[in-house]
Amino acid sequence: MTAPTEQATEEVPDGTPAAALQEPAPDPKRWYALAVILCAAFMDLLDVTIVNVAITSIQKDIDAGYSAIAWITAGYTLAFAALLITGGRLGDIYGRKRMLLIGLGGFTAASVLCGVAPDPALLTGARVAQGATAGLMIPQVLSLIHVTFPRDERGKVLGTYGGIAGLALVLGPVIGGVLVSADLLGLAWRPIFLVNIPLGVVTFVAALLYVRESKAPDAPRLDLVGVLMATTAVLMLVYPLNQGRDLGWPLWTFAMMAGSAVVLMVFVGYERRLIARGGTPLIPLSLFRTRSFAGGFSVNLLYSVAYGTFFLMWSLYVQTGLGWSPLRSGLTALPMFLGLMVTAALAGDLLTPRFGRKVLFAGGALLVTGALFFVLVSGHYGPDISSWHMVAPLFVFGLGMGAVVAPVVDFALTDVPHKDAGSASGVLNTSGQLGLAVGIAMVAVVFLGVLPGQSGKGVDAAEPAIRHELTAAGVTDRAAQDDILAGYRTCTEDRLGEPDADAVPESCRGLPAGVTEEQSTAVLRALEDAGPDVRAETFARSFGRGLLYSAALFVIMTVIMVALPRTARPQET
């Protein structure tokens, strides 16, 4: 089987005869190329979620402290977000296939380092390297789709991309749970990284054979000053968002986030002056004058914020609140993936060409409905909720995801000239990553920050069972029971307010007031036995509150869709 040629036809300069402006013949190997670039996207998205289920195993195996664990998870996001825009532009300049290969090779090598890391320092460094190489690799995915497929096929392709993205995000916890639980060859958590090696090698070889090279025809120069300012602005925003809660939100975190806005304004001013001088900017600001791109960017950003908040809240709710295993949590999320697959497959190829932005409106409505449906279900069943009870709201939520993810990319990119495809892809991906970072950070406010205030209601729900156990333990006086419950409420509230889940507040130390040594064992056992129900009720109530926040963001996102054109109108030059 022969490899495709290495030259891709791009736009031609103004003044070329009209016949030359016709769309070139599509690459005959484009469907093989699609499989390759979707594998690259799958590897990255899988790695985003697979690590979360192995945190406890990592912590025990290499004696990683709480701050080290935070850096192991945040290092990837920071490096990834910082290099996305630059990675897209490097693809425009030096070749999208070349940058895809560099990113793939680097990502696979970094995965090896992660899998053999003997200590937290090396694992953190390897995770940063993973994020950085993913930042080179991932912007090429959408830009290669954009320049490889003719406009009448892009809807189907982007629908497939949305489905693969959903599959990776949902299968991450499932695969991670299976690999950690299996403890293959006594390697504990390490297979979650080592699994990337065979996939990365196969994808790299296939990319050499089937992906056709493409780049901007005018060979733009890399805007190094723009790279520095854009990277600084992203890091100044993402770093405090990732670390703020663990550090107690000191004043400098807010100052750094405000400073990122200042750096961003300076960056925009610099890019305008560079354009006026005839230079090549890192981000073509003309993209944001394109209605479809500006609208798609905004919708994608808000969607990512709301989704990031929802998925992390849900993961904490079922794993920490309900005590479910990572494997059960991942399997429970499968209806969401199935719903996403249904609408992602239909939206891009069938529904969007016929109904235009109405598909996006329907997706927004389904997301709002799914979130509110979950509020009712979690509130009704409380600690007794099961995986089956979650099937319907998760499926509705997934339907909404698929109806938004694929079409919004189509709307955002189809008016973008090929020469700016890499930059546009990088900007879109960066908006998604920044949205996820903001969404994850907002969990500290709308979910974790609400837990202490809801803990009293959690204790109230378990109060009859606690009083029964206290009576059986010999504490029959009502006033003494009241004192024990009051102390238990304070302890529960203080514990849930601790950033470090392993910390033991002062209010949780020692015996409850009025309890004798003879009664202490039975009383402490009664309170300990009530813990899971109290935690489950508290998390269920906080999850319901946080869902209202996500629903509100989805409403705003849906309103912004009015700014999008009624239909996507592709332009090839």
Q: What is the pLDDT along the chain (573 residues), one digit of tens a residue?
A: 333 333 343 443 344 444 444 556 677 788 988 999 888 888 887 777 777 677 767 877 887 765 677 678 777 877 887 787 788 878 888 888 999 999 999 999 999 999 999 888 899 999 999 999 998 998 888 788 878 888 777 767 876 776 677 677 667 777 887 888 787 888 888 998 998 999 999 999 999 999 888 877 766 677 888 888 988 887 888 778 767 766 778 999 899 999 999 999 999 999 889 888 887 787 778 888 877 788 888 898 999 889 888 887 887 888 788 888 777 877 888 888 788 878 877 876 678 778 888 899 999 999 999 999 999 998 888 888 999 999 999 999 999 988 888 788 777 877 777 666 666 766 777 787 777 767 776 777 788 878 888 888 888 888 888 888 888 878 787 888 888 888 888 888 888 877 666 677 877 777 666 666 777 778 888 888 888 888 888 899 899 999 999 999 999 999 998 878 777 665 444
Does residue 539 contact residue 316 with C-beta atoms inside 8 Å?
A: yes
pLDDT at 377: 92
Burial (CB count <10 Å: 0-12, 13-18, 19+), residue 406? buried
* Residue 385 DSSP class: -
Does residue 414 contact residue 571 with C-beta atoms inside 8 Å?
A: yes
Could you identify the residue written with the tokens 């309170």?
527
Q: Residue 331 has which token pair?
A: 């399997």
Secondary structure class of 109 (helix, strand, coil)? helix
The candidate with the shortest Cα–Cα distance to 504, out of 517, 492, 520, is 492
**What gap in Å lies between CA 86 and CA 75, rounded to an integer?**
18
**What gap in Å lies between CA 141 and CA 137, rounded to an integer?**
7
Per-residue CA distances from 232 to 20, 74, 257 (Å): 42, 16, 11
pLDDT at 122: 92
Residues in CB range of 465: below 8 A, 6 or more apart: 530, 533
Q: Rounded to the nearest 5°, which phi and psi values hold at 357?
A: -70, -10
Amino acid at the residue 325: S
Phi-psi region of 475 (alpha: psi -120 to 50; beta: other; left: phi over 0): beta
Does residue 475 contact residue 515 with C-beta atoms inside 8 Å?
A: yes
- pTM of the entire structure? 0.77
**What gap in Å lies between CA 537 and CA 543, rounded to an integer?**
10
CB atoms within 10 A of CB 560: 17
**What gap in Å lies between CA 400 and CA 361, rounded to an integer?**
9
Does residue 496 contact residue 508 with C-beta atoms inside 8 Å?
A: no
pLDDT at 72: 80
Q: Residue 504 has which token pair?
A: 């033991």
Residues in CB range of 400: below 8 A, 6 or more apart: 339, 343, 363, 364, 365, 366, 367, 368, 369, 370, 554
Q: Residue 272 has which token pair?
A: 């305008």
Phi-psi region of 325 (alpha: psi -120 to 50; beta: other; left: phi over 0): beta
Q: Residue 37 has which token pair?
A: 């670039």
Half-sphere exposure of residue 234, counting CA atoms within 13 Å on the CB side?
A: 28
Amino acid at the residue 286: S
pLDDT at 481: 83
- DSSP symbols for 97-143: HHHHHHHHHHHHHHHHHHHH--SHHHHHHHHHHHHHHHHHHTHHHHH
**What gap in Å lies between CA 544 and CA 338, rounded to an integer?**
23
Residues in CB range of 130: below 8 A, 6 or more apart: 47, 76, 79, 107, 110, 111, 114
Q: Residue 192 has which token pair?
A: 């979650």
Does residue 189 contact residue 54 with C-beta atoms inside 8 Å?
A: yes
* Residue 566 DSSP class: S
Phi-psi region of 219 (alpha: psi -120 to 50; beta: other; left: phi over 0): left
Instruction: Give the chain's radius of gyration (CA, Å).
Output: 26
Burial (CB count <10 Å: 0-12, 13-18, 19+), residue 484? buried
Does residue 303 contact residue 557 with C-beta atoms inside 8 Å?
A: yes
